[in-house]
Structures are given as structure tokens and as C-alpha cells.
Amino acid sequence: MPQRSQTLLDPRKSPVQARSAVTVDAILEATIQVLLSDGLQQLTTIRVAERAGASVGTLYQYFPHKQALLFAVLHRHHLKVEQTLTQTAAASHHKPLATMMAAVIDAFLQAKTGRVDEARAMYGIVAELNTREAVREYETRCRAALVAMLKTATDAKFRDLESVVFMLTAAMSGPVRAVVEGGRPAKIVRALPAQLLSLCLGYLEQVKRKN
């Protein structure tokens, strides 16, 4: 699979008929399935097509190449997470910090662990592809929503809110990733929301002091 510039990564044609939309969806779903059951190395276009109940030819009708397919899967995931996050953040404006963070953490965890398998699959895609650009943009949009929200916090003001939010999100992504990738004891998984809240609030507390 040769590396391609990202301008070529868009789907080949938009499914205009209902039937096509179903097919495309089946393919995207199949991609995640194969990714999880076989791994990225074993993910071949034929295997994806088979699992989707289609033929390779059909797959290539909708995706110009394998990268575009993987990219589309990633994009769909990003959209979902971003949407959840943005809406939650918007709904939490003008609240105290603790309330805000509790809501955001909840939303983030729900988006990520609602379909753990999907989230797990994404890590593989991101590692393999040239997704730096896309991931950066996605993260930037997510952070923007949090920045906007935190600006309206009733109980705190931050200098350099950008940096603060970077740390917050990056710090959260660590434990979340560890849990999504699996193999953590149940105790840790259960405690995760509360722990993340401690993590965030603790950090914000420290930062506030230095303001």
C-alpha cells in the first residue's frame, strides 16, 4: 500500500442511491471487523469485501484505494467523537469547572467506550497511515470546543488556555487508550471516570494557583 498524499483520500463517489449507502456502510463496518479480528497487516481489500458481502470490484467503486477506505473509517469515528464532545461542551457553558469536566469526561468515555472495538481499531489505522494531518485537525477542533467552554467557567480564569486544554486532553488520552486497548483489570476500568476527573481537576487546581 503506497503512501499517498491526503488530497486523494476522499471517497470516489458519493452514494446517491439508497442501495449504495447501505453497501458503503457495510464496507466500513466490515473494515472495522476485519481490523479487529485479523489486524491491520492481515486486512486485505478482498477480505473486507467478503466480510461486507460484496466483491472487490464493488469496494473499489466507492473507495479509490485501500488508504481511502481506512481513512473513511477513521473520519467517521472522528466525526462521532467530535460531535458528542462539541455538543456536551456547548451544553456546559457557564458552569463551574467540576461540572464541566464531569460532563466532558463522561461524553468522551461514552464516545470511546460505547464501541470499544471501533475505538481500538482506530489506533491501528492511525499508527499505520499518514494520518498526522487529519488527526491534528480533529484534535484541534475538539480542543477548540473545550477552550470555548472553559472560557465561560464560573469559578476560574486561565492564562494560556490553549496549553491548558492541550495538557488536559493529552493527559486524558493516556488512561483512556490504555483501557480501550484492553487488558486492564476491571477495577481500573470501573474507576476510570472518577479517576479522570481527579486527574483533570487536580491539574486545573495546580494551574489556577500559578495564574
- Residue among 3, 5, 41, 211 that touches DNA (CB under 7 A): 41
Q: Contacting a copy of itself (CB under 8 A), which of 12, 13, 94, 136? A: 136
Q: Site mask, DNA, residues 59-88, x = CB under 7 A?
A: -xxx-xxxx---------------------
Q: Which does 13 bind (CB under 5 to 8 A by kind): a copy of itself, DNA, none?
A: DNA
Nearest to 48 by CA among 133, 177, 38: 38
Residue 6 near which of DNA, a copy of itself, none (CB within 5-8 Å, type-dependent): none
Q: Which is nearer to a copy of itself, 8 or 191 (CB)?
A: 191
Between 186-210 and 97-113, two packed helices, what is the crossing angle to 10 degrees?
140
Cα dihedral sign, 75-77-83-85: negative
16 is in the binding site of which of a copy of itself, DNA, none (Cβ under 5 to 8 A by kind)? Answer: DNA
Q: Is 202 in the site for a copy of itself (CB under 8 A)?
A: yes
Task: Compute the CA torsion angle 182, 174, 154, 142 (nearest 10 deg).
Answer: -90
Binding of a copy of itself by 175 (CB under 8 A): yes
Dihedrals φ, ψ of 96, to 5°?
-70, 160
Interface region with DNA, contact rule CB under 7 A, candidates 54-62, 74-82, 136-144, 153-161? 54-62
Q: Please answer whether residues 19 and 62 qualify as being in contact, where contact means their C-beta atoms are separated by less than 8 angstroms.
A: no
Cα separation, 39 vs 61, whole angstroms: 24
Our finding on whether 121 is near DNA (CB under 7 A) is: no
Is 46 a binding residue for DNA by CB under 7 A? The answer is yes
For 43, list phi and psi in degrees, rounded to 5: -75, 110
In eight-state DSSP terms, residue 182 is: S
Q: Which residues bind DNA (CB under 7 A)?
A: 1-2, 13, 15-17, 19-20, 22-23, 41-46, 53-58, 60-62, 64-67
